[in-house]
Amino acid sequence: MNQPLTTPPPLVPTPPAISAWPDTETLYRRFDALVKQPMRPLRREALAKVMGYFDERCQGSRRLAEEAKRFIPGGIQHNLAFNHPFPLAIARAEGAHLTDVDGNQYIDFLQAGGPTLLGSNHPGVRDQVQRILAECGPVTGLLHEYEVKLAELVCQSVPGIDQVRLLGSGTEAAMAAVRLARAYTGRRWIIKIGGAYHGWSDQLVYGMRLPGTGRMEALGIPRGATAHTQESPPNDLEALRRRLQFNRLRGGTAAVLVEPFGPESGTRPVHPHFNREVRKLCDEFGALLIFDEVVTGFRAGMGGAQGYFKVLPDLTVLGKCLTGGYPMAGALGGKAEVMQLLVGGIGTSSKRAFVGGTLSANPLCCVAGYYALKEIQRLDAAGQAGRAGDRLRQGLEEIIQRRNLPYVAYNLGSIVHLQTSGVLLLDTGNPLKLLRVRNEAKARKHMMEEMGAAYTAHGLITLAGSRIYTSLADTDAVIDDALERFDRVFQLV
């Protein structure tokens, strides 16, 4: 049986995209205080005025949303598009701003869920995409210069990657990582950190978003698909050790899969040394360490979270920023010895873990990815966006303190978290606790949606009313404008 690699090569230093890791002990105390007190939602009369914005100013979006329900389940194709009370239809995206079909302009803190680190529709990428479309179109099915150039740039940038396979999405890349880990080690068990999101594949729709929830989201998924997927509580190294020990009696663990900033892009942030200790445990028990860097890849700097923490995983899952907002945003990379099990080609006779994808590594998306990463590197986009995140978080903290609100704002570089309802922070560590907080979770989720609607009505687009992605386009003027708008929203509480 092959064994995981345990002797990492020297890490490549990366420019700092995160000025300082937050004090996690203080944060968790504040999280605990937030969920132990009554919610502080918008005043009802203020909420009525917020809803009036959508009635008066968003009639075009409302019409499209109603029409969409006739042909699309629920009226949306992607969870990010949900916006209370109905999805907004966007007509234009550029830099730090979005404009809807009714002509309303918004500061874009969604940034497509994180991919557009350069800001939306960056011309340095768009021009190259238009050139390649004119030259050869979007796809040929054969080798193209830019798939080699993109792969080379990824391998040069990310410390833990010698070779890379380009795939269709982060979900596909996480699927491939699990399959490859099992093929390489000859083991079955996969341990993920509870609450983390690794896409929607059958085996990883387990313990999503809320730790301890197991198969809660697994409707339509046979139990056999998740039979060898386990979860371990966030930041609990002893619990992880116990699970690894137990698995050793049953053939061993193939891999431990983590979001290196913590579950849900740092909604439950890791303690500073957590990843390093997980690396040690993986080495001790012969398991591969998989970093899911779909969010942190290139947003945490060109070297990703592994460059920031100086911890080398065996496999790295990439997405989002990889192609700068264009499709085919997925990749799996790692050490050459492991990655050789992904050798492609029809009729390959050697031992391999099979992956595929007709549109994977197409010229359009490879040229977009190459020039997006080159621009990110040239402009220090991660560093600039991180400084915008710092400025926004500092301003939010000042408003929260001045208005005597229990809310919690913190940032991990350009990933800014704004917890007002605390729904994702409830204690769901076992089925009994989950049952106890079920009704409270619904109420807190609705409050989060109402806060998101209030932000929107004040010209701010966020991710689910609780997460904010900053970009290169977020100048001081943009951030100052945003803070004035947040202040007006918090005045309604």
Residues acting as catalytic residues: 197, 292, 320
Q: How far apart are CA 130 and CA 377, in angstroms?
A: 21
CA distances from 133 to 74, 330, 362, 365, 487 (A): 34, 21, 11, 10, 45
Question: What whole-number distance in Å separates Cα of residue 412 and Cα of residue 417?
Answer: 8
Q: How far is CA 473 from CA 96, 111, 118, 296, in A?
A: 5, 10, 6, 18
Pair of tokens at residue 10: 């020297």
One-letter-per-residue 3-state SS of the chain: CCCCCCCCCCCCCCCCCCCCCCCHHHHHHHHHHHHCCCCCCCCHHHHHHHHHHHHHHCHHHHHHHHHHHHHCHHHCCCHHHCCCCCCCCEEEEEECEEEECCCCEEEECCHHHCCCCCCECCHHHHHHHHHHHHHHCCCCCCCCHHHHHHHHHHHHHCCCCCEEEEECCHHHHHHHHHHHHHHHHCCCEEEEECECCCCCCHHHCCCECCCCCCCCCCCCCCHHHHCCEEEECCCCHHHHHHHHHHHHCCCCEEEEEECCCCHHHHCCCCCCCHHHHHHHHHHHHCCEEEEECCCCCECCECCHHHHHHCCCCCEEEEEHHHHCCCCCCEEEEECHHHHHHHCCCCCCCCCCCCCCCCCCCCHHHHHHHHHHHHHHHHHCHHHHHHHHHHHHHHHHHHHHHHCCCCCEEEEECCEEEEECCCHHHCCCCCHHHHHHHHHHHHHHHHHHHHHHHHHHHCCEECECCCEEECCCCCCHHHHHHHHHHHHHHHCCC
φ, ψ for residue 263, nearest 5 deg: -55, 145
Strand partners, 417: 410, 467
Task: Select from 255, 183, 246 the least CA-distant residue to 1.
Answer: 183
Residues 64 and 89: beta-carbon distance below 8 Å: yes
